[in-house]
Amino acid sequence: MAKRDKSESEHAASLAALSPFELKDELIKAAGGGAVERAANFSMLNAGRGNPNFLATIPRHGFWQLGLFAMQEAERSFAYMPEGLGGFPRRDGLIERFELFLRGNKGVPGVDFLASAVSYVRDQLGLSADDFLYEMCEGILASNYPVPDRMLKFSELIVGQYLRREMIGNHPFVGEFDVFAVEGGTAAMTYIFNTMRENFLIKPGDTIALGMPIFTPYIEIPRLNDYQLKVVELNAGVEKNWQYSNKELDKLRDPAVKAFFLVNPSNPPSVRISDESLDYIASIVKERPDLILLTDDVYGTFADDFVSLFALAPKNTILVYSYSKYFGATGWRLGAIATHRDNVLDRLIGELPKDAKKQLHHHYESITTEPDKLKFIDRLVADSRTVALNHTAGLSTPQQVQMVLFSLFSLMDTPDAYKRALKKLIRNRKRALYEEIGISFDDDDVNQVDYYTILDMEFLGERAYGRDFVEWLLKHTEPAELLFRLAREARVVLLPGRGFGTPHPSGRVSLANLNESDYRKIGRAIRSLLSDYVERYNAATGKKLDKNRVL
């Protein structure tokens, strides 16, 4: 191997311990860009970013128009003062003034949506339009603390309806659930890990299971000094279309496993767990009623007829959902945690030894006269502000308003027009990428979601060129070397699949953040790189593999 290739391989190996999101910055530098460059720099194709280049416009228009109406309401108070003072909206006559605002702005983008939203809340959800509108106006003005601190009253009800539609669907669901509005899925992860530790649901040395591959922080957090957890990996392989075998799921039967964390649909394969596997997990939970499940379903809204594990095992499951990807709202930081009102977390806390209960009583006694009865989800709220600042906890009210408008937009979209448009958009991007690489395109798998796609070099290489070629490739290259060559030679940035827990060398391609023509360019660059390695293999072994063979 050439001296330069050897140094590249050594450099790639030295970065192997980095998180894929930190390695991304090194790849961007190799591609000639700065670490903070956006994909809009068309000289570099950064498909490592999960941030979509699409967004929902209608509920955003509604947000700005609602803000204008709320400002009119605020300016009704202290109008005699010229210094720019306003006050809280007034409840009396609010809905009538809102209807006048709608008629006066008919045809303005967002106004018809607002009219429909208030009608839907009143006529379909059976809620008070006056009280809903007041909450939205006060919320968008950000003129008060979030009260209740876990989530505003109508906001929780409406977001709850959205989660029912998208996460539960037509699946039978008995009972009610609570919702905590948080600063995106990342905050949800942070709060859940922390409160589980604070409440002795996980302790250093305990064992949890992770459904692999998975969003990298789920791999990294358990290793931190704060947690020091042992991890059992449940591996979904490319050869099984990224599904878990029953043998892998049977690892959950071990009573040492306290909790099972998974992302569904998965990241990075972007495949939802099959109905059969969900049923199998639910059957294990019946045998192990103490097992805690956490399902991160941020990509569930890209799937048709999605059903969350939360629907099948609601009393054992913490549901995490983020609005970031589906609505193109990563900058808004909108997420939700949901737990059934009759859940295993509260039961396990109630069964803790006396010493642990005494510690928790002291931990939460400053915020309630009955700390022993505090629900797990409300402990999340308190711990999110170090308990002492619980009185100012809660997601900012304008964020909650936008979350509500996103939810209503989806609830009113009964034909799923927005969802169908997004699915068509990303599926066309995947087809363009695969055609240029030379991978046969199969869209018959109903579990494929396609927000990302993962290119497993071992699997694809063996399928196209045989095991000997794969063994040679693995022996003569570091997994990250291929990614660095793509970055340096073609200015294409992908993330390493191994950072997400995939067993083979692979690259994660986001199908959400570039245009279709860009994915064709990426496909050609990957094909060119593979062809180069086939030529090297032929030269080294005397074989005559066809570098143009379909993968």
**Domains of the chain, residue spans:** 3-42+417-541, 57-144, 153-411
Instruction: Assess contact for 490 and 528: CB atoms under 8 A.
Output: yes
Give the pair of three-digit tokens for residue 465.
Answer: 């060129």
Instruction: Assess contact for 177 and 339: CB atoms under 8 A.
Output: yes
Q: Looking at domain 57-144, which CATH architecture does it have?
A: Orthogonal Bundle (1.10)
Q: What is the pLDDT of residue 41?
A: 45
Higher per-residue pLDDT: 462 or 401: 401
Task: Categorize the per-residue pLDDT at 37 as very low, low, confident or very high, splitting at 50, 70 and 90.
Answer: very low
509: left (phi over 0), alpha (psi -120 to 50) or beta: beta
Instruction: Assess contact for 416 and 166: CB atoms under 8 A.
Output: no
Higher per-residue pLDDT: 546 or 402: 402
Question: How far, in whole angstroms, is CA 349 from its chain's centroid?
Answer: 28
Candidate from 63-72, 138-147, 148-157, 538-547 with smallest mean pLDDT = 538-547
Q: What is the pLDDT of residue 193?
A: 95
- pLDDT digit string (tens) for 251-282? 999 999 999 999 999 998 999 999 999 999 99
Q: Is the pLDDT of residue 360 over 90?
A: yes
- pLDDT digit string (tens) for 68-124? 999 999 999 888 888 889 999 999 999 999 999 999 999 999 999 999 999 999 999
Domains 3-42+417-541 and 57-144 share a fold: no
- pLDDT digit string (tens) for 422-460? 999 999 999 999 999 988 777 778 899 999 998 888 888
The pTM assigned to this predicted structure is 0.92
- pLDDT digit string (tens) for 274-328? 999 999 999 999 999 999 999 999 999 999 889 999 999 999 999 999 999 999 9
Instruction: Supply the mean pLDDT for the chain.
Output: 91
Q: What is the DSSP string of 66-132?
A: HHHHHHHHHTTTTTT-TT----PPPSTTHHHHHHHHHHHTTTSTTHHHHHHHHHHHHHTS---HHHH
Q: Which fold has domain 3-42+417-541?
A: Aspartate Aminotransferase, domain 1 (3.90.1150)
Instruction: Assess contact for 394 and 476: CB atoms under 8 A.
Output: no
DSSP 245: P
Give the pair of three-digit tokens for residue 417.
Answer: 């027009």
**What CATH number has the domain spanning 153-411?**
3.40.640.10
Pairing mode, strands 506-510 and 452-456: antiparallel
Give the pair of three-digit tokens for residue 1.
Answer: 């191997």
Candidate from 49-53, 160-164, 227-231, 497-501 with smallest mean pLDDT = 497-501
Residue 197 exposure: Cα atoms within 13 Å on the Cβ side: 18
Q: What is the pLDDT of residue 9?
A: 56
Question: How far, in whole angstroms, is CA 64 from its chain's centroid?
Answer: 26
Q: Is the pLDDT of residue 497 over 70?
A: yes
Task: Categorize the per-residue pLDDT at 482 as very low, low, confident or very high, splitting at 50, 70 and 90.
Answer: confident
Q: Is the pLDDT of residue 506 over 90?
A: no
**At which residue do the structure tokens 């609602």 appear?**
66
Candidate from 86-95, 463-472, 477-486, 535-544 with smallest mean pLDDT = 477-486
Q: Nearest-CA neighbor of 48 among 34, 38, 58, 62?
A: 38
Q: Which residues contact 209 (CB under 8 A, 6 or more apart)?
A: 231, 232, 233, 234, 251, 252, 257, 259, 260, 261
Task: Categorize the per-residue pLDDT at 481 as very low, low, confident or very high, splitting at 50, 70 and 90.
Answer: confident
CA 183-184-185 angle, 5° bins: 130
Q: What is the pLDDT of residue 40?
A: 45
